[in-house]
Structure 1
Amino acid sequence: MDREAVGTADLGRLHVEVGQHGRSAVFTPSGELDHHTAELLSGPLTAALDAGTSRLVVDCSNLVFCDSTGLNVLLAARLRAEQMDGGVHLAGMQPTVARVFEITGADAVFTVHDTLDQALQE
Protein backbone atom coordinates (compact mmCIF):
# COMPACT_ATOMS: atom_id res chain seq x y z
CA MET A 1 0.00 0.00 0.00
CA ASP A 2 1.37 3.41 -0.95
CA ARG A 3 1.00 5.95 1.81
CA GLU A 4 2.88 9.19 1.82
CA ALA A 5 3.98 10.27 5.31
CA VAL A 6 3.62 14.00 5.80
CA GLY A 7 4.28 14.52 9.50
CA THR A 8 4.39 13.33 13.07
CA ALA A 9 3.69 14.73 16.53
CA ASP A 10 4.66 13.31 19.90
CA LEU A 11 3.79 14.19 23.49
CA GLY A 12 5.15 11.25 25.47
CA ARG A 13 1.92 9.30 25.92
CA LEU A 14 0.65 9.92 22.38
CA HIS A 15 2.42 9.85 19.04
CA VAL A 16 0.52 10.79 15.88
CA GLU A 17 1.68 10.02 12.36
CA VAL A 18 -0.02 11.85 9.50
CA GLY A 19 0.00 10.68 5.91
CA GLN A 20 -1.89 10.77 2.65
CA HIS A 21 -3.30 7.84 0.71
CA GLY A 22 -5.11 8.85 -2.46
CA ARG A 23 -7.87 11.24 -1.46
CA SER A 24 -7.71 10.21 2.21
CA ALA A 25 -5.74 11.86 4.98
CA VAL A 26 -4.52 9.08 7.26
CA PHE A 27 -3.88 9.62 10.97
CA THR A 28 -2.21 6.99 13.13
CA PRO A 29 -2.35 7.82 16.83
CA SER A 30 -0.33 5.52 19.10
CA GLY A 31 -0.77 5.52 22.86
CA GLU A 32 -3.30 7.38 24.99
CA LEU A 33 -5.76 9.91 23.55
CA ASP A 34 -7.02 11.98 26.47
CA HIS A 35 -7.45 15.50 27.84
CA HIS A 36 -3.68 16.05 27.96
CA THR A 37 -2.86 14.69 24.51
CA ALA A 38 -5.96 15.39 22.39
CA GLU A 39 -4.48 18.46 20.68
CA LEU A 40 -1.87 16.23 19.02
CA LEU A 41 -4.67 14.62 17.02
CA SER A 42 -7.06 17.57 16.89
CA GLY A 43 -4.49 19.86 15.27
CA PRO A 44 -3.68 17.62 12.29
CA LEU A 45 -7.36 16.69 11.79
CA THR A 46 -8.29 20.38 11.70
CA ALA A 47 -5.39 21.18 9.36
CA ALA A 48 -6.50 18.49 6.90
CA LEU A 49 -10.07 19.77 6.94
CA ASP A 50 -8.88 23.37 6.56
CA ALA A 51 -6.87 22.24 3.51
CA GLY A 52 -10.03 20.79 1.96
CA THR A 53 -9.51 17.10 2.67
CA SER A 54 -12.86 15.70 3.75
CA ARG A 55 -12.11 11.96 3.88
CA LEU A 56 -10.24 11.27 7.10
CA VAL A 57 -9.07 7.81 8.12
CA VAL A 58 -7.93 7.23 11.70
CA ASP A 59 -5.96 4.03 12.21
CA CYS A 60 -6.78 3.16 15.83
CA SER A 61 -4.82 -0.10 15.92
CA ASN A 62 -2.14 1.37 18.22
CA LEU A 63 -4.49 3.46 20.32
CA VAL A 64 -4.66 1.91 23.80
CA PHE A 65 -6.90 4.47 25.54
CA CYS A 66 -9.45 7.09 24.54
CA ASP A 67 -11.40 9.26 26.99
CA SER A 68 -14.30 11.65 26.38
CA THR A 69 -11.97 14.42 25.21
CA GLY A 70 -10.50 12.15 22.55
CA LEU A 71 -13.96 11.05 21.53
CA ASN A 72 -15.03 14.69 21.22
CA VAL A 73 -12.04 15.45 18.97
CA LEU A 74 -13.16 12.70 16.61
CA LEU A 75 -16.82 13.75 16.77
CA ALA A 76 -15.92 17.37 15.94
CA ALA A 77 -13.82 16.23 12.96
CA ARG A 78 -16.72 14.05 11.82
CA LEU A 79 -19.15 16.96 11.88
CA ARG A 80 -16.82 19.17 9.84
CA ALA A 81 -16.00 16.39 7.38
CA GLU A 82 -19.68 15.63 6.83
CA GLN A 83 -20.37 19.33 6.17
CA MET A 84 -17.84 18.96 3.35
CA ASP A 85 -19.55 15.77 2.04
CA GLY A 86 -16.85 13.60 3.57
CA GLY A 87 -16.48 11.54 6.69
CA VAL A 88 -14.26 10.06 9.36
CA HIS A 89 -13.41 6.39 9.04
CA LEU A 90 -12.05 4.51 12.06
CA ALA A 91 -9.97 1.40 11.54
CA GLY A 92 -8.57 -1.38 13.72
CA MET A 93 -10.00 -0.34 17.09
CA GLN A 94 -8.69 -2.25 20.08
CA PRO A 95 -11.37 -3.67 22.42
CA THR A 96 -10.81 -1.10 25.19
CA VAL A 97 -11.18 1.80 22.75
CA ALA A 98 -14.09 0.18 20.92
CA ARG A 99 -15.88 -0.17 24.27
CA VAL A 100 -15.87 3.63 24.77
CA PHE A 101 -17.53 4.03 21.38
CA GLU A 102 -20.09 1.30 22.17
CA ILE A 103 -21.00 2.72 25.58
CA THR A 104 -21.52 6.23 24.22
CA GLY A 105 -23.24 5.12 21.02
CA ALA A 106 -20.57 6.86 18.97
CA ASP A 107 -19.88 3.66 17.03
CA ALA A 108 -23.19 4.26 15.25
CA VAL A 109 -22.12 7.63 13.82
CA PHE A 110 -18.70 6.65 12.48
CA THR A 111 -17.80 4.33 9.65
CA VAL A 112 -15.82 1.62 11.43
CA HIS A 113 -13.55 -0.84 9.61
CA ASP A 114 -11.73 -3.88 10.95
CA THR A 115 -8.46 -2.91 9.26
CA LEU A 116 -6.74 0.12 7.78
CA ASP A 117 -6.62 -1.59 4.39
CA GLN A 118 -10.40 -1.93 4.39
CA ALA A 119 -10.83 1.73 5.33
CA LEU A 120 -8.55 2.83 2.49
CA GLN A 121 -10.28 0.68 -0.14
CA GLU A 122 -13.51 2.67 -0.13
Structure 2
Amino acid sequence: MTSGTDGTGHTAAERFAVAEDIGASEAVLRLSGELDHDTAPALRTALDRCESAGSARILVDFSDLRFCDSTGLNVLLQARARAQERDGAVELVGLGRGVARVFDLTGAGTLFPRYATVAEARSAGGPDPGR
Protein backbone atom coordinates (compact mmCIF):
# COMPACT_ATOMS: atom_id res chain seq x y z
CA MET A 1 0.00 0.00 0.00
CA THR A 2 1.40 3.39 -1.00
CA SER A 3 1.74 5.96 1.77
CA GLY A 4 -1.40 8.06 2.09
CA THR A 5 -3.64 5.64 0.23
CA ASP A 6 -6.16 3.05 1.28
CA GLY A 7 -6.20 -0.56 0.13
CA THR A 8 -7.58 0.51 -3.25
CA GLY A 9 -4.73 2.92 -3.91
CA HIS A 10 -7.00 5.98 -3.48
CA THR A 11 -6.31 8.82 -1.09
CA ALA A 12 -8.93 9.86 1.45
CA ALA A 13 -9.52 13.06 -0.55
CA GLU A 14 -10.29 10.97 -3.64
CA ARG A 15 -12.77 8.78 -1.74
CA PHE A 16 -14.67 11.47 0.18
CA ALA A 17 -15.70 15.09 -0.27
CA VAL A 18 -17.69 17.69 1.65
CA ALA A 19 -19.31 20.56 -0.23
CA GLU A 20 -19.99 23.38 2.24
CA ASP A 21 -22.63 26.10 2.21
CA ILE A 22 -22.14 27.75 5.59
CA GLY A 23 -24.19 30.63 6.93
CA ALA A 24 -24.81 32.03 10.40
CA SER A 25 -28.28 30.58 10.81
CA GLU A 26 -27.91 27.45 8.67
CA ALA A 27 -25.19 25.36 7.09
CA VAL A 28 -25.56 22.59 4.55
CA LEU A 29 -22.82 19.99 4.24
CA ARG A 30 -23.19 17.74 1.18
CA LEU A 31 -21.23 14.52 1.62
CA SER A 32 -20.12 12.26 -1.21
CA GLY A 33 -18.11 9.07 -1.36
CA GLU A 34 -17.19 7.03 1.71
CA LEU A 35 -17.11 8.28 5.30
CA ASP A 36 -14.79 6.16 7.41
CA HIS A 37 -11.79 6.32 9.74
CA ASP A 38 -9.53 7.79 7.05
CA THR A 39 -11.99 10.36 5.72
CA ALA A 40 -13.77 11.46 8.93
CA PRO A 41 -11.27 14.28 9.64
CA ALA A 42 -12.58 16.16 6.58
CA LEU A 43 -16.12 16.03 7.98
CA ARG A 44 -14.88 17.04 11.43
CA THR A 45 -13.13 20.06 9.89
CA ALA A 46 -16.28 21.10 8.00
CA LEU A 47 -18.39 20.76 11.16
CA ASP A 48 -15.85 22.86 13.05
CA ARG A 49 -16.18 25.58 10.38
CA CYS A 50 -19.97 25.52 10.83
CA GLU A 51 -19.52 25.90 14.57
CA SER A 52 -17.03 28.75 14.14
CA ALA A 53 -19.48 30.54 11.82
CA GLY A 54 -22.16 30.20 14.50
CA SER A 55 -24.46 28.07 12.33
CA ALA A 56 -27.39 27.20 14.58
CA ARG A 57 -28.69 24.51 12.26
CA ILE A 58 -26.45 22.09 10.37
CA LEU A 59 -28.05 20.01 7.64
CA VAL A 60 -25.84 17.07 6.65
CA ASP A 61 -26.86 15.80 3.22
CA PHE A 62 -26.02 12.12 2.69
CA SER A 63 -27.66 11.84 -0.75
CA ASP A 64 -24.34 11.10 -2.50
CA LEU A 65 -22.68 9.16 0.34
CA ARG A 66 -22.17 5.47 -0.40
CA PHE A 67 -20.82 4.32 2.98
CA CYS A 68 -20.59 5.46 6.61
CA ASP A 69 -18.90 3.53 9.40
CA SER A 70 -18.91 4.03 13.17
CA THR A 71 -16.17 6.67 12.96
CA GLY A 72 -18.39 8.90 10.83
CA LEU A 73 -21.29 8.25 13.18
CA ASN A 74 -19.18 9.28 16.17
CA VAL A 75 -18.11 12.53 14.47
CA LEU A 76 -21.78 13.36 13.94
CA LEU A 77 -22.74 12.44 17.51
CA GLN A 78 -19.99 14.72 18.85
CA ALA A 79 -21.16 17.55 16.57
CA ARG A 80 -24.74 17.01 17.76
CA ALA A 81 -23.65 17.30 21.40
CA ARG A 82 -21.73 20.52 20.71
CA ALA A 83 -24.67 21.96 18.73
CA GLN A 84 -27.08 21.22 21.57
CA GLU A 85 -24.79 23.06 24.01
CA ARG A 86 -25.36 26.21 21.95
CA ASP A 87 -29.07 25.50 21.30
CA GLY A 88 -28.36 24.34 17.77
CA ALA A 89 -29.06 21.15 15.86
CA VAL A 90 -27.45 18.69 13.49
CA GLU A 91 -30.02 17.19 11.12
CA LEU A 92 -29.67 14.38 8.59
CA VAL A 93 -30.88 14.59 4.99
CA GLY A 94 -31.13 11.99 2.23
CA LEU A 95 -30.02 8.92 4.14
CA GLY A 96 -29.97 5.98 1.76
CA ARG A 97 -30.85 2.55 3.09
CA GLY A 98 -27.24 1.36 3.33
CA VAL A 99 -25.99 4.44 5.16
CA ALA A 100 -29.08 4.63 7.38
CA ARG A 101 -28.34 1.11 8.58
CA VAL A 102 -25.43 2.20 10.80
CA PHE A 103 -27.66 4.82 12.43
CA ASP A 104 -30.54 2.41 12.90
CA LEU A 105 -28.48 -0.52 14.22
CA THR A 106 -26.87 1.65 16.89
CA GLY A 107 -30.03 3.50 17.85
CA ALA A 108 -28.36 6.79 16.93
CA GLY A 109 -30.92 7.37 14.19
CA THR A 110 -33.47 8.38 16.81
CA LEU A 111 -31.21 11.19 18.03
CA PHE A 112 -31.23 13.18 14.80
CA PRO A 113 -34.12 14.76 12.89
CA ARG A 114 -34.18 13.11 9.44
CA TYR A 115 -35.50 14.44 6.14
CA ALA A 116 -35.63 13.14 2.58
CA THR A 117 -34.32 16.37 1.01
CA VAL A 118 -32.78 19.69 2.01
CA ALA A 119 -35.96 21.41 0.77
CA GLU A 120 -38.06 19.24 3.08
CA ALA A 121 -35.77 20.03 6.02
CA ARG A 122 -35.99 23.74 5.30
CA SER A 123 -39.78 23.67 5.04
CA ALA A 124 -39.97 21.79 8.36
CA GLY A 125 -38.13 24.71 9.96
CA GLY A 126 -35.98 22.58 12.25
CA PRO A 127 -36.61 20.70 15.46
CA ASP A 128 -38.68 21.97 18.36
CA PRO A 129 -36.67 24.42 20.48
CA GLY A 130 -37.84 22.51 23.55
CA ARG A 131 -36.17 19.30 22.41
Please indicate the TM-score interval, normalised by the length of the shorter structure: 0.7 to 0.9
Report the residue type matching 1:66 in the other structure: C
Structure 1 residues without counterparts, runs of 5 or longer:
1-9
Among 87, 95, 99, the residue aligned to 1:93: 95
Report the residue type matching 1:51 in the other structure: A
Higher strand share: 1
Among 20, 31, 39, the residue aligned to 1:18: 20
What residue is the counterpart of 2:57 in the other structure?
55
1:34-113 matches, cutoff 5 A? 34-113=36-115
Report the residue type matching 1:96 in the other structure: G
Alignment partner of 2:60: what SS? strand
The number of residue pairs the alignment matches comes to: 113
What's the % identity of the aligned pairs?
Answer: 46
Q: Give the deviation of 1:52 after TM superposition.
A: 1.6
Report the residue type matching 1:28 in the other structure: R
What residue is the counterpart of 2:9 in the other structure?
none
Q: Give the deviation of 1:54 after TM superposition.
A: 2.2
TM-superposition CA deviations, 1:43-93 (whole Å, max 9, x none): 010121123212100011011100010000100110001111011010010
**Larger gyration radius, structure 1 or structure 2:** 2
Instruction: Return the alpha-carbon distance in structure 2 between the equivalents of residues 84 and 22 of structure 1.
Output: 13
Q: CA RMSD in A?
A: 1.4
What residue is the counterpart of 1:7 in the other structure?
none
Alignment partner of 1:26: what SS? strand
Q: Give the deviation of 1:120 after TM superposition.
A: 2.0
Q: Give the deviation of 1:22 after TM superposition.
A: 7.4
Report the residue type matching 2:39 in the other structure: T
C-alpha contact (below 8 Å) 1:90/1:113 kept by paired residues: yes
What residue is the counterpart of 1:4 in the other structure?
none
Structure 2 residues without counterparts, runs of 5 or longer:
1-11, 126-131
